[in-house]
Amino acid sequence: MSIKKLFIFCFLGLFYETVSFKPVILMHGILSGSEKMNIMVQEIEKAHPGTKIYNFDKFDGWYSLENIWRQVVEFRNFLDEIGSKHPEGINVVGYSQGGLIARAAIQTLPLHKVSTFVSLSSPQAGQFGANFLHLIFPDLAANTAYELFYSNVGQHISIANYWNDPVQQEYYYKYSKFLPFINNEIQTFNSSQYKNSILRLNRMILIGGPNDGVITPWESSHFGFFNKTLNVIPLHKRKIYTSDTIGLKSLLQNGKLVIIIKPFVHHLTWHTNRRVIQDVILPYLD
């Protein structure tokens, strides 16, 4: 090989190195915004130089309380547009409510390009607890919140859309316009689509931990949830898993579902904790 050829070869190799990480889309949490994802942007750029990062900047602050379907549709359009520019695939990281929005957006796209989806302490099986509630409604009691949330008016607020009161399941099924649908607890002609899109993922990473302090139960970050007597039923014993309703069991059996328990991380710090980002997010963003 001539020096010139060798040089071109090395140059191409270098080029290949810098473009070999898939683009990453970030979705921020509730009462927060894209600027709060900047530490994650820095960490990704440092570890994976050249990665193209798209930080979704809509629905920040109080706008994050808007009806969740509206947010899902906007994020889906964003995902679709960026996906069409990157046929090689994209990775998505959603934090807190953002992980739920991102997951639902993926489910509504039949031909999405998402390879790895990282759910960072997101209430995937819903939320039922005072800590989270009081971030937004300081005076509302968890056991009566359903009266507001499970109503046509209440459903205009994002957190009502995934409020899952284990004692008031009848009302949950009757009024909730979001969670029972994307979790295929209520079957519609969209249900098979919602499952197929999950099965298209190359990997789903579910991150959560016992010291979260806000997501209640914290196991909801792994699709675990309370039963009627408020005992936490882990993912692998819930119908959503055992009946493979949305494809989680298939993913796990194919080595594509990764469940990560990370202790000593408070909910409001997951996305800015460099150790979390380095240990359990970056390794999956290839």
Q: Which of 28, 112, 222, 267 is catalytic?
A: 267
Q: What is the helix, strand, coil percentage profile of the chain, to 5? A: 50, 15, 35
Is there a catalytic annotation at residue 279? no
Pick the closer one to ligand NAG by CB: 172 or 270.
172
Residues that bind ligand NAG (CB under 6 A): 108, 181, 188, 190, 227-229, 231
Is there a catalytic annotation at residue 212? yes
- The CB-of-30 to ligand NAG minimum distance in angstroms stands at 22
Is there a catalytic annotation at residue 96? yes
Nearest to 177 by CA among 155, 193, 209: 155
- The CB-of-181 to ligand NAG minimum distance in angstroms stands at 6
Distance CA 277, CA 271 (A): 7
Q: Which of 212, 221, 222, 271 is catalytic?
A: 212
Pick the closer one to ligand NAG by CB: 76 or 271.
76
β-pairing, 232-233 with 225-226? Answer: antiparallel
Q: Which of 32, 34, 96, 191 is catalytic?
A: 96
Local structure of residue 272 (DSSP, 8 states):
G
- The CB-of-191 to ligand NAG minimum distance in angstroms stands at 8
**Which residues, 6+ apart, have CB-to-CB distance to 286 below 8 Å?**
20, 21, 22, 116
Pick the closer one to ligand NAG by CB: 2 or 231.
231
Where b means 16+ CB within 10 Å and e means fewer, 33-65 reads bbebbeebbebbeeebeebebbbbebbbeeebb
Pick the closer one to ligand NAG by CB: 52 or 177.
177
| Residues recorded for the chain | 286
Query: Which residues are marked as active site?
Result: 96, 212, 267
